[in-house]
Amino acid sequence: MKKTLFLALSLATALSGGALANDRYRERPPVIVSPDLAAPWVMQLAGPNARPVVYPRQAAEPRPVYRQRAYQQREPRAVQRRGILDQDRAQPVAMRPQPVRSRIEPQFLPQTVAYETKERPGTIVIDTNNRFLYLVTGDGQARRYGVGVGKPGFEWAGEHRVTRKAEWPSWVPPKEMIAREAAKGHYLPARMEGGPENPLGARAMYLGSTLYRIHGTNAPWTIGSAVSSGCIRMRNEDVVDLYERVNVGTRVIVM
């Protein structure tokens, strides 16, 4: 009987001790402190005759006022461009539009050359292989111009005469050309008035009853190439010069 009572008491003591231990290390709820320094419990901590220390709240700093400045137009600044190997030095580079260059080779510029031929002065001879147009002046000389000629499949040769001359001619593409270009995804107008954007350029000299012409161009960089549909194209300044030197009825030989 005593042994049983002893075991029961021991077990109760162990259980109560474990509960106390668990209660001791159990997480406590947080202490919430009142922001009011004059709260009663604060007065009790300070004593019956003490007064709590109250720190005055600092006034908020005024925000800076940003005034909108009047817009002033300034000159464009140069752009500082740095190279990979030039990290410490920077040279100002003015951003200006680059001029459009014709990129024509020097041999295709107008010039007087030696030219032996049996043709009479005033005759036009076009060498399509070398992309030159010769205006025979006599005495074994000719005035030579660079030209653009028919692309592969559009070459031709023959003899005609200038039947008509026109300044800033309008352009009416042939139906065959319209259909051919439409198959490539390029849609041509039915008619285009004369002007700087017109493919016929500043002047045109029509050859016989054909659709071929000696004319200017809006793409001077193509001079010296085989790019046309059979016409002989020249730079605008060159075709104007030739236009003033020949008349209707001038004999034209295409080789």
State both tokens at 111.
Answer: 């010039």
181-225, pLDDT tens digit by residue?
A: 889 888 888 899 999 999 999 999 999 999 999 999 999 999 999
Looking at residue 39, its pLDDT comes to: 54
Of 231, 232, 234, 254, catalytic? 231
Looking at residue 187, its pLDDT comes to: 87
**193 versus 75: which is more confidently predicted?**
193
Query: Which pTM does this prediction carry?
Result: 0.60
Cβ contacts of 163 within 8 Å, gap of 6 or more: 206, 207, 208, 209, 248
Q: What is the widest separation between alpha-carbon atoms in the chain?
A: 157
Mean pLDDT over 21-39 rounds to 54
Looking at residue 78, its pLDDT comes to: 47
Looking at residue 94, its pLDDT comes to: 41
Q: How long a stretch of residues is the chain?
A: 255
Q: How far apart are CA 120 and CA 141, in angstroms?
A: 11
Mean pLDDT over 59-70 rounds to 55
Looking at residue 174, its pLDDT comes to: 87
Active site residue 186: no
Q: Is the pLDDT of residue 60 over 80?
A: no
Domain boundaries, the chain: 106-254
The verdict on domain 106-254 having CATH code 2.40.440.10 is: yes
For the chain, the C-alpha Rg in angstroms (whole number) is 49
Using alpha carbons, select from 182, 209, 200, 208 the residue that is nearest to residue 240: 200
Looking at residue 28, its pLDDT comes to: 58
**130 versus 70: which is more confidently predicted?**
130
Q: How far apart are CA 73 and CA 188, in angstroms?
A: 45
State both tokens at 58.
Answer: 């600092």
State whether residue 114 is helix, strand or coil: strand
226-245, pLDDT tens digit by residue?
A: 999 999 999 999 999 999 99
Looking at residue 48, its pLDDT comes to: 54
State both tokens at 78.
Answer: 């140069």
Looking at residue 190, its pLDDT comes to: 87
Mean pLDDT over 170-185 rounds to 89
CB 95 within 8 A of CB 222: no
**71 versus 23: which is more confidently predicted?**
23
**Average pLDDT value over all residues in the chain:** 77
> For strand 141-146 and strand 203-207, is the pairing parallel, antiparallel, or unpaired?
unpaired
Active site residue 160: no
Categorize the per-residue pLDDT at 67 as very low, low, confident or very high, splitting at 50, 70 and 90. low
Of 131, 144, 215, 235, catalytic? 215
> Hey, how many other C-beta atoms are within 10 angstroms of the C-beta on 142?
25
